Amino acid sequence: MSEGSLSKSGASKKREKPAKKPARGGSGRDRKSGDKRERILSAAVKVFAKSGFFDARVSDVAKAAGVADGTIYLYFTSKEHLLVSLFEDRVDKLLAFIETDLAKIGSAKDKLRRVIEVQLGLLEEERDLAEVITVIIRQSSKVLKEFATPKFTSYLDTIARVVAEGQAAGELRTDVSPSLVARATFGALDGVTFTWALGRAEEGALSRAASQVADILLRGLSPSLHEK
Amino acid sequence: MSEGSLSKSGASKKREKPAKKPARGGSGRDRKSGDKRERILSAAVKVFAKSGFFDARVSDVAKAAGVADGTIYLYFTSKEHLLVSLFEDRVDKLLAFIETDLAKIGSAKDKLRRVIEVQLGLLEEERDLAEVITVIIRQSSKVLKEFATPKFTSYLDTIARVVAEGQAAGELRTDVSPSLVARATFGALDGVTFTWALGRAEEGALSRAASQVADILLRGLSPSLHEK
Amino acid sequence: MSEGSLSKSGASKKREKPAKKPARGGSGRDRKSGDKRERILSAAVKVFAKSGFFDARVSDVAKAAGVADGTIYLYFTSKEHLLVSLFEDRVDKLLAFIETDLAKIGSAKDKLRRVIEVQLGLLEEERDLAEVITVIIRQSSKVLKEFATPKFTSYLDTIARVVAEGQAAGELRTDVSPSLVARATFGALDGVTFTWALGRAEEGALSRAASQVADILLRGLSPSLHEK
Amino acid sequence: MSEGSLSKSGASKKREKPAKKPARGGSGRDRKSGDKRERILSAAVKVFAKSGFFDARVSDVAKAAGVADGTIYLYFTSKEHLLVSLFEDRVDKLLAFIETDLAKIGSAKDKLRRVIEVQLGLLEEERDLAEVITVIIRQSSKVLKEFATPKFTSYLDTIARVVAEGQAAGELRTDVSPSLVARATFGALDGVTFTWALGRAEEGALSRAASQVADILLRGLSPSLHEK
DNA sequence: AATGAATGAGAGTTCATTCAT
DNA sequence: GATGAATGAACTCTCATTCAT
């Protein structure tokens, strides 16, 4: 699995207030390189994963990012907005990646297997992010209900659509609701990630899990013998 | 599904400080004075489900329970302990119920189906509790890691054991890890419950979902044709 | 001048949140006497007079009142509300006192003289309050515009009414606007109080000033000779 | 009333740090670059009048002046110094204007009338400045006590001197303290301006008020009949 | 001279918890 | 046991000021 990191990625799309984006010559990319926003987000993933959203103090994130407390508020309007932005920035990339990837694949079964591989594969590379996505995002009622749910719903819809296509093509059993399958599938992956992130988080465990989960799910979704 | 409510149940098992539970003779000029603890727990389920653990104020719980703020501290040592107790009181009952139930059932497949029916069935009856178990419990790092995880692990172990038995008996495919199956199963149920609790929570939806999830999972876990 | 203190007066009329009002037996009126609200208001007069509204910290008021910081928020919703309440509590009493007093007096000229004596006399007894009313109240735009101005306007109206009555009775010149006279009169008193409060605040200075100001004003408002 | 504007006037008298005031030859590719100081002061009058000294942010002033935040600190050492400078720049002009004007006038009565006309006339032309002088200047304890008071005192002294001269010349009654008359006079004008600035600020109202206030005051200060 | 991103001290406010009644 | 007023530690966020560019 080498889809590449979800963080430290290219240009940051949205920024609230500052137009900023300082010079950034070709020289020293090190000290004070300027990508404050990204540094803050990376720090936030670490700090939130460690302490949870509420127990994490904004000043902890600032310290981890190597900026002053107030600097965070130049890029994010509130602590909650920091969490939302984290989600936007990272989950959007995950979702975009998956959708692009699925377009290249023909069969619904292969698509489902790919969803499983990608979701688990990417999160295995970034354990802290996995914890943020599976645990932390549920901590702020506001973020969860107003922000995460819609985005999450659109992800579930993507999966449900694959299932429906597979049913139409005769690849998958038709006696189950695509939307329910999407929710159960996502939940299964989330459950596996969740216990992995909370536990010892063994190397390669998620990738190995991916193939077994896919095996079970695809057999479970295959048409019955006499349906064929 | 009529397993009975998870709340307002019999004796409270653990308590930290108070000797409490006053005389309760025939006298008691203040009837219903004894079930303060239960009233507080019920109120906490409601309030936590509505606001989340951190955004809920202890005084909100007190008001909902019809007791003074300080009274809560006669029964629980802290807000966090209130959450722990909730979990203990309600989840323990859920787990105990399931284990007892499973003992009456022969085949591993039937046991798995029963786990699914019970978990979804019970939570459907108490939406607030469902939200507490799927969402709120992840909000306190301390509760999650120190308390919920072990209990949760034992639940997963119960499921894993059923799977292992089924594999030994030739009922279930042997090329998947029982522990992984347990985690994915739980996750699938949690995912279904989670989206249900966050969404419109239609009447009967979880029960209907149970049978489909069971269908998929059991076919997915069935031995391959040439394995038989 | 012995109209009595404006502070430490009888029952507090309004209170926002707490029903409180503890026992208050006939015994020890000293330590922890319970009238927290009044103690906080008195402390606020002192602290605001000394430092100004913005430079005063809520914790300074708390310390001066001998209560915890948070206690202030049991009686007032915000620092600004504390200032508003001060104004309400003290200025209301001043205004009520003056209006009651005026009712007992016959001629408009005597009434005006009385307004001047009372306003300067009462404030002389409480220099800190004088400073709050002449200076501090202008410091919070919100308090000034939304709250003080209306109350202040009603005071000006009282004075203007006296002037109009005097004009109708032929006691006062009719070629000036009652409302303007009211504003100029109030301003003259405010100006005298203001410089007194900022300066050395000599004993008895305001009372002595009262008579001279009244002399000037009343001669200034007397009808011209051929008007009579 | 056409005494001329108090703002945008000639040379700035005091300045703390900067040598500033760059070359200003015929070249200057950045025309109007030199009046930054004045632009900042004008912006400050507007912003302070609108929000009050404390609620106004330095960055608001900067934005209104069309300069960067930091630029303000090239001309003023602090936010407080900005207020002081405003006062110095504007009030000094008012005082200088009045003193020059008074020199041309013979009788004390005419001088007093002129003071009233000028003070109200000038402020009517610049409502924001009126609000700054009547309200805002009282907001910073430091500015008020250390700076405004002395300057203010010298203004009061000017008026008191006129009164004393009038008393010596037999034009004005001698049974009142010149200093008290000065304070009451200023207060009356301040009170009228204050209510005007806070209220609807009708066109011409202050000028009309001036003549009535003068009428009252001068009759009030006239010698008694048998004093003559 | 001018900029404006960055700083970080400091304030108001909240709320879990205590304890005198 | 029950109460709820009181507590005060700890938090997020603001904004005057600085300084590298």
Q: Which of residues 174-193 of A touch strand F (CB under 7 A)?
A: none
Partner residue facing C177 (CB), from D144, D187, D212: D212
Our measurement of the distance from residue A120's CA atom to the centroid of its chain's CA atoms, rounded to an integer in Å, reads 10
The confidence score (pLDDT) of residue A218 equals: 97
Task: Tell me the per-residue pLDDT of C56-72, one tens digit each, with 9 for 90 and over.
Answer: 999 999 999 999 999 99
Nearest CA in chain A to B195: A183
Tell me how close the Cα of D29 comes to any Cα of chain C, in angstroms.
Answer: 42
Contact B216 A55 (CB under 8 A): no
Partner residue facing B216 (CB), from A52, A189, A220: A220
D140: confidence class by pLDDT, cuts 50, 70, 90: confident
Residues A118 and A214: beta-carbon distance below 8 Å? no
Task: Tell me the per-residue pLDDT of D166-210, one tens digit each, with 9 for 90 and over.
Answer: 999 999 999 999 999 999 999 999 999 989 988 888 888 999 999
Say how many CA atoms lie within 13 Å of C65 toward its Cβ: 28
The confidence score (pLDDT) of residue C153 equals: 87
Spell out the alpha helix ranges (H) of B52-177: 58-65, 69-75, 79-103, 108-125, 127-134, 141-142, 149-168
Instruction: Report helix, strand or coil for D201.
Output: coil
Nearest alpha carbon to residue A221 among B213, D106, B70: B213
pLDDT(D24) > 80? no
Nearest alpha carbon to residue C216 among D182, D146, B211: D182
Say how many CA atoms lie within 13 Å of A209 toward its Cβ: 30
The confidence score (pLDDT) of residue C6 equals: 56
Tell the residue number behind the tokens 């609620």, with chain if given: D55
Q: Judge C/D contact: 3 or more CB pairs < 8 A.
A: yes
Spell out the alpha helix ranges (H) of chain A: 36-51, 58-65, 69-75, 79-103, 108-125, 127-134, 141-142, 149-168, 178-198, 205-221
Residues in chain D closer than 8 A to C215 (CB atoms): 175-176, 220
A138 to each of A149, B174, B180, D178, D186, how far by Cα in Å?
Answer: 10, 35, 23, 74, 64
D5: confidence class by pLDDT, cuts 50, 70, 90: low
Nearest alpha carbon to residue C8 among C32, C44, C35: C35
The confidence score (pLDDT) of residue A149 equals: 82
Give CA–CA dist D118/D207, Å, rounded: 9
Chains that touch C (3 or more CB pairs under 8 A): D
Nearest alpha carbon to residue C82 among C142, C41, C36, C35: C41
Residue D40, token pair as written in the block = 């900042």
Count of all residues that appear for chain A in the document:
228
Residues in chain D closer than 8 A to C220 (CB atoms): 215-221
pLDDT(D77) > 80? yes
- Which of C55, C135, C195 should we substitute to test contact with D (largest number of D Cβ atoms within 10 Å)? C195
Give CA–CA dist C223/D216, Å, rounded: 10
pLDDT(C40) > 70? yes
Q: Which of residues 51-70 of B touch strand F (CB under 7 A)?
A: 67-70
Residues in chain C closer than 8 A to D222 (CB atoms): 219
Task: Tell me the per-residue pLDDT of C188-217, one tens digit each, with 9 for 90 and over.
Answer: 999 999 899 888 888 889 999 999 999 999
**Spacing of A69 CA from E8 C1' in Å:** 7
Whether D204 sits with its Cβ under 7 A from any strand F atom: the answer reads no
Contact D138 C141 (CB under 8 A): no
> Cα–Cα–Cα angle for C19, C21, C25, nearest 5°?
155
The confidence score (pLDDT) of residue D11 equals: 39
Q: Which residue is nearest to nucleotide E1 (CA to C1')?
A: D20
The confidence score (pLDDT) of residue A198 equals: 83
Nearest CA in chain A to B211: A176
The confidence score (pLDDT) of residue B5 equals: 56
| Residue D52 contacts C where some CB pair is shorter than 8 Å | yes
The confidence score (pLDDT) of residue C219 equals: 96
Give CA–CA dist C64/C36, Å, rounded: 12
The confidence score (pLDDT) of residue B13 equals: 38
pLDDT(D26) > 60? no
A128 to each of A48, A135, B49, B140, how far by Cα in Å?
Answer: 8, 10, 26, 17
**Spacing of D20 CA from E10 C1' in Å:** 33
Cβ within 8 Å of C, D 147-166: 149, 156
Residues B102 and B115: beta-carbon distance below 8 Å? yes
The confidence score (pLDDT) of residue C34 equals: 57
Partner residue facing D191 (CB), from C144, C175, C188: C188
Higher pLDDT residue, C146 or B218?
B218
Q: Which residue is nearest to nucleotide E8 (CA to C1')?
A: A68
Task: Kindly tell me the burial class for residue A227, based on how many C-beta atoms sit within 10 Å of its own C-beta (0-12, 13-18, 19 or more).
Answer: exposed
Picking from A100-114, B7-21, C75-89, D92-106, which range would have the lowest pLDDT averaged per residue?
B7-21
User: Which nucleotide is closest to C57, CA to C1'?
Assistant: E11
- Which of B112, B207, B213, B226 should we substitute to test contact with A (largest number of A Cβ atoms within 10 Å)? B213
The protein footprint on chain F, as nucleotides within 7 A of a CB, is 1-21
Three-state secondary structure readout of A36-59: HHHHHHHHHHHHHHHHCCCCCCHH
DSSP letter at B138 equals G
| Residue A207 contacts B where some CB pair is shorter than 8 Å | no
Say how many CA atoms lie within 13 Å of A50 toward its Cβ: 11
> Cα–Cα–Cα angle for D77, D79, D81, nearest 5°?
55
The confidence score (pLDDT) of residue A43 equals: 97
The confidence score (pLDDT) of residue D226 equals: 67
Instruction: Classify each residue of C7-40 as buried b or exposed e, where b means 16 or more C-beta atoms within 10 Å of its C-beta.
Output: beeeeeeeeeeeeeeeeeeeeeeeeeeebbbbbb
Task: Kindly tell me the burial class for residue D19, based on how many C-beta atoms sit within 10 Å of its own C-beta (0-12, 13-18, 19 or more).
Answer: exposed
Spell out the alpha helix ranges (H) of chain C: 36-51, 58-65, 69-75, 79-103, 108-125, 127-134, 141-142, 149-168, 178-198, 205-221
Contact A187 B187 (CB under 8 A): yes
Contact D51 C181 (CB under 8 A): no
Whether A33 sits with its Cβ under 7 A from any strand F atom: the answer reads no
D227: confidence class by pLDDT, cuts 50, 70, 90: low
Give CA–CA dist A89/A77, Å, rounded: 16
Which parts of chain B register pLDDT below 70?
1-34, 226-228
Q: In this structure, is the dihedral angle defined by the CA atoms of residues A39, A41, A42 and A46, taken in order, positive or negative? A: positive
**Spacing of B23 CA from F1 C1' in Å:** 12
Chains that touch B (3 or more CB pairs under 8 A): A
Nearest alpha carbon to residue C193 among A135, D208, D183, D182: D183
Higher pLDDT residue, C203 or D62?
D62
Amino acid in position C68: A
Higher pLDDT residue, C30 or C191?
C191
The protein footprint on chain E, as nucleotides within 7 A of a CB, is 1-21
Which parts of chain A register pLDDT below 50?
1-3, 8-33
Nearest alpha carbon to residue C44 among C143, C115, C116: C143
- Give me chain D's average pLDDT, please: 84
Whether C152 sits with its Cβ under 7 A from any strand E atom: the answer reads no
Chains that touch D (3 or more CB pairs under 8 A): C
